[in-house]
């Protein structure tokens, strides 16, 4: 009899435990945070995201080829969105608490009206300090060694050395925007023996890869000394039109200009004008204003200009290394979000910059 009672008690205990566990499972599934991912992540990246979610997050992976009308119901349920939804979509997402971008530039939101300020916005600053600087080195070497012209000669089966080249060694470079990307450029230019001056809001405590640091009020003086000017600044109200015709004309006649920041930092009409006048030795533009350039725009046909379609920092579908860096950042921020901690790279709508 005692044996039977013990077995009966044990069975009741097991049934109660199973009942409580099933209730807990139903509760967890109902209560999990919904996160929409607007990129085609591979299996390893999904596993990393799922691990960071700790069974507290339900991920919905939205195919990139899905139309906005089709994906809107998914976004409406999301508390978190990884990617760059449109402002009209955001306005209809009543459950949304946080958007984690895969870009460093935030002007699609900060430079326009309509983003709900109660929604946290973080960017992917810190993930492009390799891929964009490598692009800068590539186009500078192209300009220095006339590789664009030689590529045309190859198509024409023409063997004709060009008696004008420039070395990076010994030159003076001015980097506008001495943040993560600008510092990555500076680190790589050091290996070529380039003297590097950076520009940022404060000139104190700058990294060793810089030979000096200026503030914006010293820009006009430094432009006259630089052999190379590289813009890494984001698009904000303060940076729009920074390189106007006056400042472009301050640059040396044979100076190189590279833009990997935002197109509207350079006055495009002014740039066309100074190039037609024979000023500047070469220009490489990965970003332009307007973007994309109209088919009849004169920049397309200028010999001294290298144009690329905003690919210096492309990630998903282009660079697996950069993809993984972005996903890792997402995971770190997701863990902070779940723990109630301050998010990394929180964007300020007043400055357009992200916190560290």
Instruction: Say whether pLDDT at 24 is over 50.
Output: no
**Mean predicted confidence (pLDDT) in 89-99:** 98
Cβ proximity of 261 and 238 under 8 Å: no
What are the helix and strand counts (H, E) for the chain?
Answer: 12, 12
Has 89 been annotated as catalytic? no
φ/ψ of 231, rounded to 5, equals -95, 120
User: pTM of the prediction?
Assistant: 0.87
Q: Which of 262, 314, 323, 325 is the catalytic position?
A: 262
Span 284-293, pLDDT tens digits: 999 999 999 9
**Residue 22 pLDDT level (bands cut at 50, 70, 90):** very low
Span 330-349, pLDDT tens digits: 999 999 999 999 999 999 99
Has 295 been annotated as catalytic? no
Q: Which of 89, 291, 328, 346 is the catalytic position?
A: 291
Query: Which architecture, in CATH terms, is 32-126+320-338?
Result: 3-Layer(aba) Sandwich (3.40)
What is the dotted CATH code of the domain comprising 131-307? 3.40.50.720
DSSP assignment of 56-69: SEEEEE--TTS-HH
Instruction: Say whether pLDDT at 68 is over 50.
Output: yes
Instruction: Say whether pLDDT at 162 is over 80.
Output: yes
Say what the pLDDT of residue 12 is.
55
Say what the pLDDT of residue 242 is.
98
Q: Which of 97, 297, 310, 336 is the catalytic position?
A: 310
Domain ranges of the chain: 32-126+320-338, 131-307
Same fold, 32-126+320-338 and 131-307: yes
Closest CA to 100 of 111, 91, 109: 109
The pair of three-digit structure tokens given for residue 328, joined into one six-digit string? 């890792």
What count of other Cβ atoms lies within 10 Å of the Cβ of residue 137? 16
CA distances from 263 to 114, 241, 351, 356 (A): 22, 9, 18, 25
Instruction: Say whether pLDDT at 1 is over 70.
Output: no
Has 218 been annotated as catalytic? no
């Amino acid at each position: 009899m005692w044996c039977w009672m013990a077995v009966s008690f044990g069975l009741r205990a097991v049934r109660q435990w199973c009942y409580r566990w099933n209730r807990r499972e139903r509760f967890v599934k109902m209560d999990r945070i919904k996160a929409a991912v607007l990129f085609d992540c591979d299996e390893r990246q999904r596993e990393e995201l799922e691990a960071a979610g700790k069974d507290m997050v339900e991920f919905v992976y939205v195919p990139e080829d899905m139309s906005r009308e089709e994906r809107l119901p998914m976004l409406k349920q999301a508390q978190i969105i990884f990617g760059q939804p449109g402002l009209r979509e955001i306005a209809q997402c009543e459950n949304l608490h946080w958007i984690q971008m895969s870009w460093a530039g935030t002007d699609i939101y900060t430079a326009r009206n309509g983003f709900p300020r109660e929604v946290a916005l973080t960017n992917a600053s810190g993930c492009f300090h390799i891929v964009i600087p490598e692009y800068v080195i590539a186009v500078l070497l192209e300009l220095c060694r006339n590789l664009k012209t030689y590529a045309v000669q190859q198509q024409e089966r023409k063997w004709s050395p060009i008696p004008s080249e420039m070395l990076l060694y010994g030159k003076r470079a001015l980097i506008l925007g001495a943040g993560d990307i600008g510092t990555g450029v500076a680190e790589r230019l050091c290996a070529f023996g380039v003297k590097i001056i950076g520009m940022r809001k404060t000139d104190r405590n700058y990294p060793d890869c810089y030979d000096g640091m200026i503030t914006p009020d010293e820009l006009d003086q430094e432009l006259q000394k630089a052999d190379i000017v590289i813009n890494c600044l984001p698009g904000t109200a303060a940076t729009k039109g920074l390189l106007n015709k006056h400042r472009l004309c301050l640059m040396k006649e044979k100076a190189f200009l590279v833009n990997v920041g935002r197109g509207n930092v350079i006055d495009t009409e002014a740039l066309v004008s100074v190039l037609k006048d024979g000023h500047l030795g070469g220009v490489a533009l990965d970003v332009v204003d307007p973007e994309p350039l109209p088919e009849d725009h004169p920049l397309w046909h200028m010999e001294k200009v290298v144009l690329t379609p905003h690919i210096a920092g492309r990630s998903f579908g282009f660079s697996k290394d950069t993809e993984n860096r972005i996903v890792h950042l997402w995971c770190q921020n997701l863990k902070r979000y779940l723990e109630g901690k301050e998010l990394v790279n929180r964007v300020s709508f007043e400055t357009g910059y992200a916190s560290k």
